[in-house]
Structure 1
Amino acid sequence: MTHSSSSLEKINKIAVSKYTSAGLLALLLSACGESHTHSHAINDHAVDLKDAILQNRSADCADYANEYGSSVKDIRKNEHFIAQVSIEVQDRYCTLTSNNIPNHDFNDRNARFATNAKEVSQSFNIKRAPQLSYRVTPLEQSTYNGIMINGVPIDILSAACYSPNARRADRQGNIPIGCRSDAKWLVDPLGPNANMGADAHNAHTQPDGSYHYHGNPNALFDEKPGNNGSPTIGFAADGFPIYGSYFYDETRKQVRKAKSGYRLKSGTRPTRSSTSPGGNYDGTYIQDWEFANTGDLDQCNGMTVNGQYGYYVTDTYPWIVNCFSGTPDPSFRKRMGKNKQPNHKNTQHRFPPKPAY
């Protein structure tokens, strides 16, 4: 599907649209609940976002208010989906509602999703004027870390860790599920030995079929940034914008990639035992990394450019966001099933099955 010139103009300018009651109601109804049959057509009023590269760097979610749609494909299963996103504006918040399907094809031949991707209705409130807090808030497995403009959430942490005496431990002593975020050796989903079955977009599915990113989505921005750097591609749970990888460095007078302030620890882990995996600090576990403040970004993977704080996608840990510099909105807490509060058991990731080929 190709973008019309009017659609691309809307995507690039991201003008605030005026919804009709009927059009908005139709979108909300089509995204309500978990669907057993996939939507077959994009809403007539929706902007076609398929494979779009954004340009706007505005930190106000109101500048992205619109209805968006994309016709995409689950490559491995040869199934077609219609991605649907709605962004509405209130005085203090924007509400982003989506059916959790990305604006790009997904589940490529190298991926091994543990569960099939499904349409899952989700809604998030994004603060329009977030404030920096005196203390950072750590990531939790029970909370999504952010939401991309294409309606796909960010979920950085895994529930895999080193537990060699557990029944399901692999050769490295890691188990795929059941670990809390404060585990001593928590597996990094994008580490060299993670085995998370992610696709080319660093994404896979939750047990309920909801698609989510663990790092660079390889979508919404590219390696050809504008004069001011990469666009806003999403918003963290605290309301601050998430940018692509590039920013304008005022000191060097050039656009360049933002560099993480984390580095791998030197030397080796403690000798392998029931409490330590041993071996080199190679990035398998998030505890292999330490904040050295040697890059551009702070411990949460953010910085202030031209007076605006935001998080940046990086090529190394922590990938997008490592903590919140503001206060997360409660709407980002996970809810699995109608009226169910998040719990540790049903918000964990699990490793994919072994391939059948």
Structure 2
Amino acid sequence: MLFRKHPAPATAPALAALLVFALPPGLATAHDITGEILTDRSATCADHVAANSAKATDLHNSQEYDGAVTITTDGASCTITSNAVPNHDFNTSKGFANPFSVQDQSFTITANPRASDTPTPLSLMMDNAVFLNGVKLDQVAAGCFGVGDGFIGCNDMDTPYRFDPMGGASNFGTDAHNAHTQPDGTYHYHGNPMALFNQDTPDGPSPVIGFAADGFPIFGSYIDDDGEIRKATTSYHLKSGTRPDGPGGSYDGTYVDDWEYVAGSGDLDICNGMVQDGVYGYVVTEAYPHVLGCFTGTPDDSFRKRRPGRD
């Protein structure tokens, strides 16, 4: 195990998140990525091998944490291990429902991703991706209209009107980085991390900011369209009219069911991916599905959740 958790002195609560880790061969020191904007567009996970550190403050609780993330490779796969502390301040809203907690998490991705014959749907059983700052992406909410309090307990993926935490009138208590904490305190994104890549008028296409569970890279929002640098567009669109049952009302993006895929209507495919410079990868978008619509390849079992039903 690359990380070893050390208890912090009672007089230094800011060190409660500190993890001591072994550096990958050839790296003498950890690189501080606090607030860093990435630039590398390599889709090869081995090109991102590193041992990184960061400082982040829980702004609502005025507590500082030390982030740690290592990326290693054995040639056939890469492993990203972290304590789930982001490389930016967080909890900028009125406060998370669940207190933030340091984790010890590890994800393995294949170094040679392959497209499956048919896409694999997203589900509550699997985390979707991990970003290069060590924070995971978990897009699927466990809340549906008419099930419990609407925020948790909707474990049947066939239940209609599942909330989109990023959409419409959804109120999932996310912060300025489209993230919040799960019941066990794990900080995770639901969409664009609003970090890691230039969000406004970059000089070139966006870098790789993470890897999906199937091994394909995730790029930031901007693509090079014959010399024009612009945001990629999703091929999902809001349905017209009003919902025939359930919550009723207009299709406004509050629920996943409000959207429909129209092939060829945008830059991206049904899984929200495209080929850039000969390499397939997912792209962060402003509209649904935000990052991944499904898995083009086969997700690794290391992304399987310890228990289902967490938002």
Would you say same fold, with TM above 0.5?
yes
Query: 1:284 & 1:39 partners in 2: Cα distance?
Result: 35
2: distance between equivalents of 1:315 and 1:269? 23
Q: Which residue of 2 aligns with 1:15?
A: none
Q: Deviations over 1:274-295 (max 9, x none)?
A: xx11111111100000001210
One-letter code aligned to 1:93? S
Aligned to 2:172: 196
Q: Does 1:267 align with 2:238?
A: no
Partner residue, 1:187: 163
How many angstroms apart in 1 are the aligned matches of 2:225 and 2:120? Answer: 27
Secondary structure class of the residue paired with 2:60: coil
Matching residue of 1:16: none
Shift of 1:41: 8.7
> Equivalent residue for 1:137?
120
Give the residue type in structure 2 aligned to 1:332: F
| Counterpart residue type for residue 96 of structure 1 | I
CA RMSD, 1 decimal: 1.9
Q: Report percent identity of matched pairs.
A: 47
Correspondence for 1:65: 49
Preserved contact between residue 143 and residue 334 of structure 1 (Cα < 8 Å)? yes
What is the rounded CA distance, in whole Å, between the counterparts of 1:111 and 1:226 in structure 2? 35
Greater per-residue helix proportion: 1
- The equivalent of 1:289 in structure 2 is 259
TM-score by length of 1: 0.79
Residue from 278, 303, 306 that aligns with 2:277: 306
SS of structure 1 residue aligned to 2:52? strand
What runs of 5+ residues in structure 2 fail to find an aligned partner?
8-12, 22-27
Partner of 1:278: 248
User: Which residue of structure 1 aligns with residue 10 of structure 2?
Assistant: none
- Offset of 1:225 from its aligned partner? 2.8
* Distance apart, 1:111 and its partner CA: 4.1
* Structure 1, unpaired ranges of 5+: 1-24, 170-174, 336-341, 350-357
User: Which residue is 1:317 aligned to?
Assistant: 288
Report the TM-score when normalising by structure 2: 0.91
Measured at CA, do residues 309 and 111 of structure 1 come closer, stay the same or move farther in structure 2, by a change above 3 Å? Answer: farther
Q: Which runs of 4+ in 1 moved over 3 A?
A: 39-44
Cα distance in 1 for partners of 2:202, 2:77 equals: 28
Aligned to 2:310: 348
Kept in 1, the 8 Å contact 2:4–2:20? The answer is: no
Change (3 A) 1:82 1:99: same
Q: Could you tell me which amino acid in structure 2 is paired with residue 76 of structure 1?
A: H
Match of 1:162, SS state, is coil
Find the counterpart in structure 1 of residue 60 from structure 2.
76
Instruction: Give the counterpart letter for 1:348 in structure 2.
Output: R
- Match of 1:128, as an amino acid? A
| Counterpart pick for 1:205 among 181, 186, 189 | 181
Name the CA distance, whole Å, in 1 between partners of 2:33 and 2:203.
19
Residue from 32, 35, 46 that aligns with 2:30:
46
- For residues 111 and 324 of structure 1, what CA distance do their matches in structure 2 show? 33
Residue 330 of structure 1, CA deviation = 0.6
**Deviates most, 176-185 or 215-224:** 176-185
Alignment correspondent of 1:148: 131
